[in-house]
Every structure is written in structure tokens, then in C-alpha cells.
Amino acid sequence: MSSEVKVPTLGESVSEATIGQWLKQPGEAVAADEPIASLETDKVAIDVMAPQAGVMGEHIAKEGETVTVGALIATIEDGAGAAPAAKKADPSATAGQQAPASGSSAPAPSASEEPAAGASVLSPAVRRAVLEYGIDPSKVKGTGKDGRITKDDVLAAAQAKTAQAEPAGSAQAPAPAAAAERREERVRMTRLRQTVAKRLKSAQDTAALLTTFNDVDMTAVIAARNSYKDAFEKKHGIRLGFMSFFAKASVLALKDIPAANAYIEGDEIVYHDYVDISVAVSAPQGLVVPVVKDCDKLSFAGIEKSIAEFGKKAKDGTLTMEDMKGGTFTISNGGVFGSLMSTPIINPPQSAVLGLHRIEDRPVVRDGQVVVRPMMYIALSYDHRLIDGREAVTALKIIKEAIEDPTRLLIDL
């Protein structure tokens, strides 16, 4: 008797996905609720869980194929050796396992050679790292929950592999340089990358984009952070970063300039009496923008905890559709990658995005004297159909003043 594997509900307004990778091949043992496939949606990667224990049956949908919610994509057959660790070494024992290479024998592995319990359950981010660095996951000791392998585990294994290879390579004479080869490689765009491309191009085609710039003296914020970071971390269990300051400063600006927290729908303007900030995060599969909800009500600690949690989820590839839902304004921090200045693109249907950049010491004039201060360029890109230049400049000026005098954040000024 077999059990059907269907595409699960993917989230609000998401009706289809792409088969990104099959994690279990026909004939392999499967445990109940074990990930057997990875689906790529417009926003996140989602694992499909096995509805029962058994043996992986037929793959009805192939990798790269687009499937809809509720569509049948595979079957799971009843079988005796249902536990993942119970696979037999004999290739004839299961239909989907490949025979060993001709002329070689494959003795059954001893108990000490079997992979860790969590080695077969890899998140999308970990799977990408495994493929990228050529690491055998069965030889990596997982430090995550239930012994699961994390991306850091794979990176550590890759570094160890490189370190072992260097001494051996250094003893050999360098081989003559081969003739330069000109190669091309075609890689299918992930569904997420396709969606990002379409949405960004749509923003350019639809909105009247304009960017205004300013610079911020980070002296006061840096001093406040240095003074309270230890006490903050001790009390709240999270580090005090700069993003919470900018989120709070943005709240002040959006309350004073409601158009920057609104969007156009048809011939109407939709205003919000709340502030949900999308925070642009670089993930292995591309740029994602999880949403920190109710930033106008959250404390500094609440904002920092939310951002840290999203950062970890993005790194591990475990962001959910709910994490990405909504958003009335976006903050993108290119400074962490060394960007000096940029013109960020709005995240539709939003009407404005704040771009942060690197902090560097620059000479500025204060009270008639040239002094060196830690300065940052900030940029506000906005939809000129909805936001006038005066409003955009004012919003960015409010953010600048709040960062240069953080007391404004406490007294709502």
C-alpha cells in the first residue's frame, strides 16, 4: 500500500512552487515527518515532509518542474526498513540505489561508519553549502538540534579539508600552467531569484523612483552603544546593534510623514497606522526581506531580537512565509558589505526604502573647526507619485537628527 505525497499549503496568495531538490531517491528508506523534497516558492524554500514511514516510491514531479498546491508529486510505499539508518549495503535490496562501480566491492559499513542521526536532514542552506564545497555530509558531525548539520559545520569541514590539502600540495613542484580555458556555464535561476528580478524590474517600470541623500554623524550613537552594550546584553540576552536605532528613527520619520509608510493601490492611497519594517537580509538563495512587525511598539531589545532571529533563519534557510508577509517600509544595510553609497530600489508595493552604508572617519566642519568624525551616508529612495521631494527630504532629515541626537528617540521628537 502506498501513501501520496502532495504539495502542501504554501502560504497566502502563493499557489505554486518549483521542485528545487529531491532529498530522497526512489527505494531509499524514509522516516515519518522526514524532509523528502525542497520546494522553492517566490519567497522562501519549504521542505516537504514524509506523511508516513516507508520506502520512497516514484518521483512523479521532476526537479525544476513547477507544481501547484495539492498536486501529487511522489508516493511512499510501505516497507520494513523504514528507518533512515536501516539501509542495506546490498544495492539489490532497494530499487533506487545504484550498484557499485564495476570491479569493486562495497562492504556494509560498520556501526562506527554510519552517519550521525541528523546527517540526512539538511536545510536548503546546508545542502547548498555541501554541494558548493564538495563535502560529504555523512562525515560531518552536526552541532545543531538533534545532531543536525548546520552551515557552520559544513564551512568548518571545508576549512579543515583545505588545511589538510595545503601541506601535501606544498611538497610538490608546481605543475606548468595549463593553456587558458574559456568556459561557460548555464545555471537555471531559482524561483526566488526570478521573482526578485521581476519585482525589482516592476518597481522601476511602475514607480517614479527618486533618491535623496544625506550624511549622518554616528558619534552619539556609537558612544551610547559603547556605554550600554554590556548592560544591554546582560539584561536582554542580545547585543545592541545600530539597526534598532535606525528602525526607531524611521518610526519617527514615518509617523511625521505618513506618505512614506503608505502605498498606491489603483487610484487610492493606503495609509497604515502601524509600522512593519522589512529588513533586507542576504541569504544563501538570494536577498530576502523578513518583516519586523509593530516596530512602533517594540523596544530596542525587541527589535534586535527579531532581527537576530531572522538573520539566523536566513542563514539556515528556515524562513517561513509568515516571516516575509507584509511590510510597510524597508531598511537595507549595504554597509555591512562595504558600500559607501547606493540608490536602493523600493520593495513593492511599498513606497520608500532607507539605505544604510559603511561608517568611515571623514573630516567635517564643527563650530568652524575641521574635525574627524565617524560618518555614514544614508539614502532614501521613494515613489515620487506618492511622496513629494519635500516630504522625502524631511523624512530623511528626521532620521539624521534622531541618530545624531538619540535622546529624540526617547522623547518622541
- Could you tell me which residues come within 8 angstroms of residue 258 by beta carbon, excluding any fewer than 6 positions away? 271
Pick the catalytic residue: 152, 236, 272, 384?
384
Please tell me what DSSP assigns to residue 273.
S
| Rg of the chain on CA atoms, in Å | 26
Element (H, E) at 380: strand 369-383
- Tell me the pairing of strands 54-59 and 66-68: unpaired
- Tell me the pairing of strands 35-40 and 16-22: antiparallel
CB 18, CB 64: distance < 8 Å:
yes
**Three cell numbers written together for 256:** 511625521
Distances 86 to 116, 219, 270 between C-alpha atoms, Å:
13, 61, 57
- Nearest CA among 114, 157, 108, 100 for reference residue 133: 157
Pick the catalytic residue: 33, 78, 230, 388?
388
Backbone angles phi, psi at 214, to 5 degrees: -155, 170
Concerning whether 388 is annotated as a catalytic residue, the answer is: yes
Query: DSSP 3-state assignment of 396?
Result: helix
Neighbours of 176 (CB within 10 A): 6
Residue with cell 523534497: 37
- Nearest CA among 258, 253, 261, 233 for reference residue 378: 253
Beta bridge partners of 395: none
Query: DSSP 3-state assignment of 389?
Result: helix
Is the peptide bond preceding residue 349 cis, with omega within 30 degrees of 0?
yes
The residues carrying an active-site annotation are 384, 388
